[in-house]
Structure 1
Amino acid sequence: MSSAKLSDGWRSSSSRLLGLYSLLFVAWCSVLLGVLYWRVSHYLDDLAQSALLQRAHLFEHFTGDALCEALRENRRYDVHGIDAYGVFTAAGTPLAGPLKALPAQLPLDGQVHRVSGLPLSDPTAVGKRGFGLAMPTRDDRVLVLVRYSGPLNEVNHLILDALLWGVSLTLLPGLLGWQLLRRRPLRRIQAIEQATARIVAGDLGQRLPVADRRDELDMLAAIVNAMLDRIEQLMTEVKGVCDNIAHDLRTPLTRMRAQLYRLRQQLGEGDAQAVALDQVLDETDTLMARFRALLRISELEDHQRRSGFVELAPEALLQEIHAFYAPLAEEKGQWLRLEVAPELPSVVGDRGLLFEAIGNLLDNAIRFAPEGGRVQLSARAEAGATRIVVEDSGPGIAEAERELVFQRFHRSEASQGGGFGLGLSIVAAIAGLHGFRLGVGQSPLGGASFSLLCRPQVL
């Protein structure tokens, strides 16, 4: 993923683990809060019921006016006692207290029950809920005691608010810590991604960063680095063998060609042996050119060449290339057009190598375009980069071959010109050295279209 966009950090494994832990923590806190609130509520209810039972046991010793006086005094001075009471005759006629009628839902059993909608003389107390107790007195009257649950609910709400604030204040630093813990591994993964991108671009000397934490990422980076060391060693050995073969054969080939040339000079024109020697000389030149191209590609694949990169203006470079190849197009009667958009982004690279790459593409376009055909060299700005396009009106490249044209020694079946199948490989090597994107497609002119996306900074 691209620090996609990894960044989309919410998709990372660390973010998911931290998110899962946070959800479990919140769930556990919610369960704990619910149990605590339930226990506190039940405790307060039990406390209210116990208070009513204690007052009932106290008042059962009183009768007549003494009972009414005791009830008034208790309500006045005992804040934890009863909130309302009523004394009734056996027939239900009210004798004392704010209750004006016997509650219909309250049985006469001396036990505490939940009550609501009590018939009270105080209009502000109508509709209150709480606990009630009804019991017979010694003088055959009915005593009703009531304790409202409003104060208890207020205490419950205070406790609930305190618990919620406590959980919120606990979650806030937890979320901040989540963000910090989530970002640390993401930064390390981004560094690994950047190093991997340079390795993919061809710089096998790059290694994944390893910290001193000795965690899973360090262990994985160490394993990958060991693998890259081995791959680089094998690639160097293979490359060294190929380079040595090409280099060692170049000297004897040069000597052989010199001897053949001297032999050819000793023969006259029209001699059958002279014609055969000319053919051998041509094949020798072809062979030596291929070795030179292989050595050139090997040289371009050395990423130390980047040390000489400078910032270039693509307009001046393209004008120079156009002026250099214009006479070659004129010889074939071709129309070579240069089309450069204004204010192109600058390009970082080696001027000589870029001249070679674009010139190689333009030389191919001129070679494969028919006499009187059209060739176009253009450049335009695209997403902060410069896209250079070379097009022609030649036979083009079949879609099935477009992935193969940059391989060494590959030659298109439609190709009727010379070449060794290494020109585009050199262009690809130069593009890879610069971190540019090389592509091939179909041109509106009818032939092939090669594009080079030149980023302003090297990967």
Structure 2
Amino acid sequence: MSSTRLTEGWRSSSSRLLGLYCLLFIAWSSVLLGVVYWRVSNYLDDMSESALLQRAHLFHRFQGDVLDDALNDSLRYDIHGTYAYGMFTAQGKHLAGPLMAFPAGVRADQPSREIPGWLLAGGERREAGRALAVSTQDQRVLVLVRQSGKLSGVNSIILDALLWGISLTVIPGLAGWYFLRRRPLKRIQQIEGVTNRIIAGDLGQRLPVSDRRDEIDRLSSIVNAMLERIEQLMTEVKGVCDNIAHDLRTPLTRLRAHLYRTRVELGDSPHTVQMDKALAETDLLMARFSALLRVSELESGQRRSAFEDVDVAALLGELHEFYLPLAEEKRQALVLEIESGVHTLRGDRELLFEALANLLSNAIRFTPEAGRILLRAVDDDGVPRIDVMDTGPGIAEQDRELVFQRFFQGQDEAGRAEGFGLGLSIVAAIAGLHGFRLRASGAEGGGAWLSLRCAPETL
């Protein structure tokens, strides 16, 4: 998969929807598990404080040596070493017990507090715990400490379990996200392929509709109904134009024949000049209708069966040889350039010759005397591109998308319309038949630059 295709996949609505759901699920799971961890931690802290309070209440009944004996007995039964005690004066001086220093921040007869650690007899230092100080009946201060390492271990176990639970939930969710978004993307790619063929001119194509009848199918059905109507209207409009052009050819041919016979019969009559003008106008009308039928034929896509490998150098060489005398009559320089690496393209040779001939004839017509016309073939990212550049007045920027439409007429330097607006329409129809990209722009230093990129274009 290319990087472009991968980027499009991540930007799709299905990926975003599934990704948003996955993020919300992760966020909610994290909050839920965080609350569970917080509640368990508080419960364990409460257990630790309750244990210290129970011991404090138990030892508060004793005093003097009896209290010391009870404390020592409790240590002997504490096989895990969870608890420790220390007996101190009211001023904090150590009197008895393994706890050697009064914990900082701990006050007598106040709630228990977390301490970072404590020092035992023999220099042994224990990890964090919870300490509680209570006053005895004989005016001493008893400090009880409970090690929190065991509880911390329980917290760690719970935290690990929660993290594993999130991981085992997120990983299948991400995998499901990846695989679930592939089906909608595949359908979109199918729709894209059909749409490209419709854009290329095949209005008979329809978007695929599955049996699921989901929102994509409903949208495809609406678009298909719209395409049905568009195809019907286009066929009707095209049929009217084609029928008019076809039906008028016969009477125009008869009219020209009558005019020609009348012109011959008049001989050297003064009216022959008017008859010659009438014949010229009739020829112009017939050429216009022939061009209309030609565009219609090309847009119908009936010539694809003649596609073959075309030698670009031979095709351009033939065009150059054919139009060189016409350019020399106007003292124009017609230059041919073929870049190395440009060999063949796939298409109908006769149609490509016709299209490029139209471009060259336009360039010769609009380029002034002593001007320069360049016909060249270059390699455009591994694809042949044919350029026709001239030093004429060029094409106005606002007209560069319009010049390929039927009956659009450009203006020469004097502001007078040239032709009847179907030459470039024929070129555009031939380019569309091949799937090539035809582009009009301005050449350096003025003039027109028309390029034909000879590779099927995709969106």
Normalised-by-shorter TM-score class: 0.7 to 0.9
Please give the TM-score of this superposition, normalised by the length of structure 2: 0.88
Q: 1:18 maps to which residue? A: 18
Equivalent position of 1:150 in the other structure: 149
Match of 2:247 in 1: 248
Separation in 2 of the partners of 1:82 and 1:425? 95
Work out whether 1:407 is the aligned partner of 2:405. yes
Post-superposition Cα deviations, 1:55-99, rounded to whole Å, max 9, x if no partner, equal: 344445555555444433332333578510234578877554212
- Report the counterpart of residue 369 of structure 1 in structure 2: 367
Deviation of 1:5 after TM superposition, in Å, equals: 6.6
How far apart are the structure 2 equivalents of 1:257 and 1:369?
Answer: 33
Q: Secondary structure at the match of 1:390?
A: strand
Cα displacement (A) at 1:214: 1.9
- 5+ long unaligned stretches in structure 2: none
**For residue 262 of structure 1, what is the aligned residue in structure 2?**
261
SS of the residue aligned with 2:113? Answer: strand
Partner residue in 2 for 1:233: 232
- The answer to whether the 8 Å contact 1:3/1:190 transfers is no
Distance 1:52 1:378, change over 3 A: same
Q: What's the counterpart of residue 124 of structure 1?
A: 124
Structure 2 Cα separation of the partners of residues 322 and 65 of structure 1: 123
Counterpart for residue 305 of structure 1:
303
Give the secondary-structure state (helix, strand or coil) at the position aligned to 2:234: helix
Tell me, yes or no, if the aligned pair for 1:334 and 1:372 is still in contact at 8 Å: yes
Percent identical among aligned pairs is: 63
**Helix, strand or coil: the match of 1:449?**
strand
Distance 2:206 2:104 in 1: 86
SS in 2 for 1:312: strand
- C-alpha distance in structure 1 between counterparts of 2:453 and 2:55, whole Å: 93
SS of corresponding position for 1:407: coil
Contact 2:263 2:276 in 1 (8 A): yes
Matched, 1:78 2:78: yes
Distance in structure 2 (CA, Å) of the matches to 1:178 and 1:65: 71
After TM superposition, the structure 1 = structure 2 runs for residues 376-415 of structure 1, keeping only pairs within 5 Å, are 376-414=374-412
Counterpart residue identity of residue 42, structure 2: H
Provide the rounded CA distance (Å) in 2 between the counterparts of 1:124 and 1:30: 40
Give, in angstroms, the shift of residue 272 of structure 1: 2.9
Residues 262-307 of structure 1: CA deviation (Å, up to 9, x unaligned): 3333232x21343333322222211111111100000011134334
Once the two structures are overlaid, the 10-residue window that deviates more, 25-34 or 217-226, is 25-34
* Distance in 2 (alpha carbons) for counterparts of 1:163 and 1:239: 70
Q: In the alignment, which residue of structure 2 is the partner of 1:323?
A: 321
8 A Cα contact 1:392 1:445, kept in partner: no
Q: Is the 8 A contact 2:196 2:458 kept in 1?
A: no
What is residue 98 of structure 2 aligned with on the other side?
A: 98
Q: Superposed, which structure 2 residues align to 1:257-296 within 5 Å?
A: 257-268=256-267, 270-296=268-294
Distance apart, 1:36 and its partner CA: 1.1
Which deviates further from its counterpart, 140-149 or 86-95? 86-95
User: Residues 447 and 127 (structure 1 numbering): CA distance in 2 closer, same or farther, change over 3 Å?
Assistant: closer
Deviations 1:320-340 (A, max 9, x none): 222222333344443322111
| Partner SS state of residue 413, structure 1 | coil
Distance 2:132 2:293 in 1: 104
| In 1: Cα distance, 2:355 partner to 2:423 partner | 9
User: 1:128, 1:418 → 2: CA distance?
Assistant: 96
What whole-Å deviation, never above 9, does each CA across 1:22-69 have from its counterpart, x for those lacking one? 222222122112211111111111212222233344445555555444
1:380 Cα deviation after fit: 0.6
Separation in structure 1 between the aligned mates of residue 433 and residue 399 of structure 2, nearest angstrom: 23
Encode CA deviations 1:145-198: one digit per residue, 9 max, x unaligned: 221222212221221122112212211121222222333323332332333233
Two-structure CA RMSD over aligned residues (Å): 3.1
Provide TM-score, normalisation by structure 1.
0.88
Matched position secondary structure for 1:9: helix
